[in-house]
Structure 1
Amino acid sequence: MENKIALILGGQTGLLGQAITDILNKNKWEAISPAKNKFNIFSSEELKNFIQKHHISYVFNTIAYTQVDKAEQEQKKAIELNRTFPVILGNVCKELGIYLIHYSTDFVFNGQKESPYEPTDPPCPLNIYGKTKLEGEKNLLEITNLKLLIIRTAWLFGQGKVNFVSKILNLAKEKQTLNVVHDQVGSPTYTYDLAKYSLQLVNTNATGIFHIVNSGQASWCELAQEAVHCLGLQCKIIPISSHEFPQTAKRPTYSVLSTKKFTEQTGITPRPWVQALREYLYSFHF
């Protein structure tokens, strides 16, 4: 029987990493999620030793510099985590014959398209976060003979860490009105669904680039309205334009991802984000 031992980098504190750890455990995998200071992730030797010591056969990399606005000022940190680290990890995985599952983002696109982005669409990031994530992807794809799966996803919400939905709900309990951007549209995604669908994709031995998100699309404003409505809160969500909510980093106005390739590979159609949102809200007692 194949060794189902996985290393989840970012599995202790990361929004997605925690969900992956949980889903793998529920599916009778052995999921190892080391603490941040367990070893130096930038040391090939320490990475290699840890992987060999624990007989790892899969690595899920959810580590990333994800603070989109801060990345504009902290470019060095974004480059280290999003571009440099994946290559170090990729080379170790190649050497040891490990299957690497690496997560990327809808922000590799510029938002100029009017229909959902396919994995084959040319990327053109608008900000440092998107650029460094794309460079990480490219560098990994250049490593020959590496068993590599890159999963692009978007707009994550889930338990275990503060996220857009939990922030909105906490504010909505205290305020009568909230201004939320309406002219950025994307694919809200529940971390537990993403983890589940990732595992189903891994079980098909998929390699290359795939998009995994919940089905449907929404603006930030629509996502906020749905969350507030689901919990019956009285706060009114007021749509505003991006210009009225200044952010350091430029964001794509449209970054909906197509999961067609994922469905062709697995036979699974991701469930609607509204359904996933309700499960998240009602299961975790907001």
Structure 2
Amino acid sequence: MAKALVLGGATGLVGQALARTLAPAGWETRIFSRTDGNLLDMDFLRGLLEETEADVVFNALGWTRVDAAEEHPEEALLANRTLPDALARTLAALGRGHLVHFSTDFVFSGPHDGPWRETDTPHPVSVYGRTKLAGEEAVLRALPERSCVLRTAWLFGPGRSNFVDVILNACRKRDAVSVVHDQIGSPTYTLDLARWAEKLARARATGIWHAVNSGVASWCELASEAIALTSGPCRVEPIPGSDWPQAAERPANSALDNSKLAEFLGEKPRPWPQALREYLFREYTAAEGGRGH
């Protein structure tokens, strides 16, 4: 039985999905949370990796508060670049273990004809995006033959509040919600992401992979679909991003092309509306329209 170490598996959106997925797929899984120790303590980190003897380390830890990163760049850099670099270097020194590191669509920005491919040149416009890109580069530089970077985007899934939850909760209190219509991306179901990550890990895949559900949407379209699927009476009012000021600049187009992943899987990842239906069916009760967990 292969051994997996999931960093961030107790509370993180991606980590919890991995925790749900790996054991049924036949992995002996250990979950590590931030409260279990300081991974930036190199002696502790090396001891953890030696003790677990993990065949694959899934790094689902990171600073994900996009706007807060603008005010706390040093902390974001520690989580998004320093930690993955330390992981990769320690695994390299130990001579064993594969690293699966999760990154983001926010490494991209600017006008682009269609979704971004793995071979396109990143150009992040936020502290969050820049620190995540730095983390990617550190991992691939330190452990090129035993690591892969999974860029993903616009996550929804069980275990932690996400955009879909926020919208549906708001709709229970109001007749209308205002949602940005001029930013597009790739909505992605975390349980699908975890299944792809498991398959890539089993194959010891390397390099950069775009791991998202198929199709593109604006925030407005994602919100509208979630409300429609739950038969909500709430109205969605489209607004431009300029009417929703935020500390960090958002890319107008951060949609990711998943053709490389589709070729690996032998089938195209299912469309995001189909994945969204499964999420809402699993997590929300039909009677009350509330959380089912």
- Bucket of the pairwise TM-score, normalised by the shorter protein: over 0.9
Partner residue of 1:31 out of 29, 32, 40: 29
Alignment partner, residue 278 of structure 1: 277
Task: State how far apart, in whole Å, the 2-side matches of 1:213 and 1:42 are.
Answer: 30
Alignment pair present for 1:133 and 2:126: no
Task: Assess if the C-alpha contact under 8 Å between 2:212 and 2:269 holds in 1.
Answer: yes
Task: State how far apart, in whole Å, the 2-side matches of 1:54 and 1:87 are.
Answer: 19
Alignment partner, residue 15 of structure 2: 17
- Spell out, residue by residue over 1:33-62, the C-alpha distance to the aligned partner (whole angstroms, 9 max, x if none): 123221211012211212222221110001
Task: Assess if the C-alpha contact under 8 Å between 2:56 and 2:201 holds in 1.
Answer: no
Structure 1 window deviating more from structure 2 (269-278 vs 52-61): it is 52-61
Task: State how far apart, in whole Å, the 1-side matches of 2:21 and 2:110 are.
Answer: 32
Give me the TM-score of the superposition, normalised by structure 2: 0.94
* SS in structure 2 at match of 1:122: coil
Task: Assess if the C-alpha contact under 8 Å between 1:10 and 1:33 holds in 2.
Answer: yes
Task: State how far apart, in whole Å, the 2-side matches of 1:271 and 1:65 are.
Answer: 28
Unpaired runs of 5+ residues, structure 1, are none
Alignment pair present for 1:123 and 2:122: yes
Partner residue of 1:54 out of 52, 55, 61: 52
Task: State how far apart, in whole Å, the 2-side matches of 1:13 and 1:172 are.
Answer: 25
Alignment pair present for 1:89 and 2:87: yes
Task: Assess if the C-alpha contact under 8 Å between 1:10 and 1:36 holds in 2.
Answer: yes
Task: State how far apart, in whole Å, the 1-side matches of 2:73 and 2:202 are.
Answer: 36
Alignment pair present for 1:160 and 2:156: no
Task: Assess if the C-alpha contact under 8 Å between 1:90 and 1:146 holds in 2.
Answer: no
Alignment partner, residue 221 of structure 2: 222
Offset at residue 202 of structure 1 (A): 1.9
Amino acid at match of 1:100: L
Amino acid at match of 1:22: R
Task: State how far apart, in whole Å, the 2-side matches of 1:145 and 1:206 are.
Answer: 11
Task: Assess if the C-alpha contact under 8 Å between 2:108 and 2:122 holds in 1.
Answer: yes
* SS in structure 2 at match of 1:102: strand
Task: Assess if the C-alpha contact under 8 Å between 1:204 and 1:266 holds in 2.
Answer: no
Please show how residues 240-279 of structure 1 align to structure 2 within 5 Å.
240-279=239-278
Amino acid at match of 2:133: L
Task: State how far apart, in whole Å, the 2-side matches of 1:76 and 1:107 are.
Answer: 18
Distance 1:142 1:241, change over 3 A: same
Task: Assess if the C-alpha contact under 8 Å between 1:94 and 1:145 holds in 2.
Answer: no
Task: State how far apart, in whole Å, the 2-side matches of 1:87 and 1:49 are.
Answer: 17
- Spell out, residue by residue over 1:238-276, the C-alpha distance to the aligned partner (whole angstroms, 9 max, x if none): 000001111111111011101111122231310000000
Task: Assess if the C-alpha contact under 8 Å between 1:94 and 1:146 holds in 2.
Answer: no
- Spell out, residue by residue over 1:79-130, the C-alpha distance to the aligned partner (whole angstroms, 9 max, x if none): 1101111111111111221100000000000132121111010000010000
* SS in structure 1 at match of 2:36: coil
Partner residue of 1:69 out of 45, 53, 67: 67
Task: State how far apart, in whole Å, the 1-side matches of 2:204 and 2:8 are.
Answer: 22
Distance 1:76 1:158, change over 3 A: same
Give me the TM-score of the superposition, normalised by structure 1: 0.97
Distance 1:221 1:144, change over 3 A: closer
Offset at residue 203 of structure 1 (A): 2.3
* SS in structure 2 at match of 1:237: strand
Task: State how far apart, in whole Å, the 2-side matches of 1:98 and 1:268 are.
Answer: 28
Task: State how far apart, in whole Å, the 2-side matches of 1:264 and 1:185 are.
Answer: 24
Task: Assess if the C-alpha contact under 8 Å between 1:44 and 1:89 holds in 2.
Answer: no
* SS in structure 1 at match of 2:23: helix
Task: State how far apart, in whole Å, the 1-side matches of 2:277 and 2:110 are.
Answer: 27
Task: State how far apart, in whole Å, the 2-side matches of 1:178 and 1:122 are.
Answer: 35
Task: Assess if the C-alpha contact under 8 Å between 1:158 and 1:191 holds in 2.
Answer: yes
Alignment partner, residue 79 of structure 1: 77
Offset at residue 144 of structure 1 (A): 4.9
Task: State how far apart, in whole Å, the 1-side matches of 2:48 and 2:143 are.
Answer: 23
- Spell out, residue by residue over 1:175-223, the C-alpha distance to the aligned partner (whole angstroms, 9 max, x if none): 0000000000000000000001111222222100000000001000000
Task: State how far apart, in whole Å, the 1-side matches of 2:57 and 2:106 are.
Answer: 23
Partner residue of 1:43 out of 23, 41, 49: 41
